Amino acid sequence: MSIIKVDAIQSRGSSDSAITFNGGFITPRCVIMQVKATNTDQAYSASSGQVKVQWETVEIDTISGWDSSNHRYTPSVAGYYLVGGALRGQFNNILSLMTMIVRKNNTTDAEVDLRNQFQSNSDAYFNGSYPIPTGLMQMNGSTDYMEVFFEGEEDAVFHDTSDIKSHFFAQLVHAT
C-alpha cells in the first residue's frame, strides 16, 4: 500500500485535477450535467413524429458541454455516462402510446439509443411527469453528443407548469 502525503495532493490540486484537498477532506471532481425546463410550453404535434425536447436552463455543467442552441450535450471526457430524467407533459387528449428517447449522435440505432415506451390497450396516460430512459451511454469525448426526443399519438405541451420541472441529466460513471 502506498501513502500519499497531504503536501503532494495540495501541490497538485488545480481546477482541472480529478481531486482536491479542502480543509481535511478529499473532494472528487466529476463530470456532471443537468438541464431543466419549467413552464416553457413547448408544443408537440402528433403529426410531427419524433421531436427534440428543448431545455431552458442549465442547472449544472462541470465541463461546459451543454449546447443551448441545439439542446444537446457533448461531453469532452470519454467514457460511460449514466443518463436519465423526467419529462412533464400536458396531453390535450389521453394517450395510449408515447416514447421517449435519449439519442446518441442523432442516429436511430436501437442498439445505441435508450428508449422508454409507454403503451396500453386504452387511453391511460394524461398530464404528468414521465421518466426519460435511464441507462449507460458510451461517449467518445470529442464528437459524440446526446439529446432527448419524444413521440406520441396525440398533441401535447411539454414543460407546461412551473410547479413541476422537467429535467435531463448525464454523469460520467467510468472514464475510458
93 pLDDT exceeds 80? Answer: no
DSSP state of 17: S
pTM for this structure?
A: 0.83
Which domains, from first to last, does the chain contain? 1-30 (no CATH), 31-175 (2.60.120.40)
pLDDT of residue 20: 63
User: Which of the four pLDDT bands, split at 50, 70 and 90, describes residue 109?
Assistant: confident
**15 has a pLDDT exceeding 70:** no
Confidence of residue 2 (pLDDT cuts 50, 70, 90): low
How many other β-carbons are positioned within 10 Å of the β-carbon of residue 75?
26
∠15-17-20 over CA atoms, to 5°?
85
DSSP code string of 68-106: TTTTEE--SS-EEEEEEEEEEEEESS-BSEEEEEEEETT
Q: What is the pLDDT of residues 21-80, one digit of tens each?
A: 667 676 666 899 999 999 999 999 988 999 999 999 999 999 999 999 999 999 999 999
- φ/ψ region of 142 (left if φ > 0, alpha if ψ in -120 to 50, else beta) reads alpha
- Structure confidence by residue, pLDDT tens digits, 113-155: 999 988 877 777 778 899 999 999 999 999 999 999 999 888 8
Cβ pair 73, 132 in contact under 8 A: no
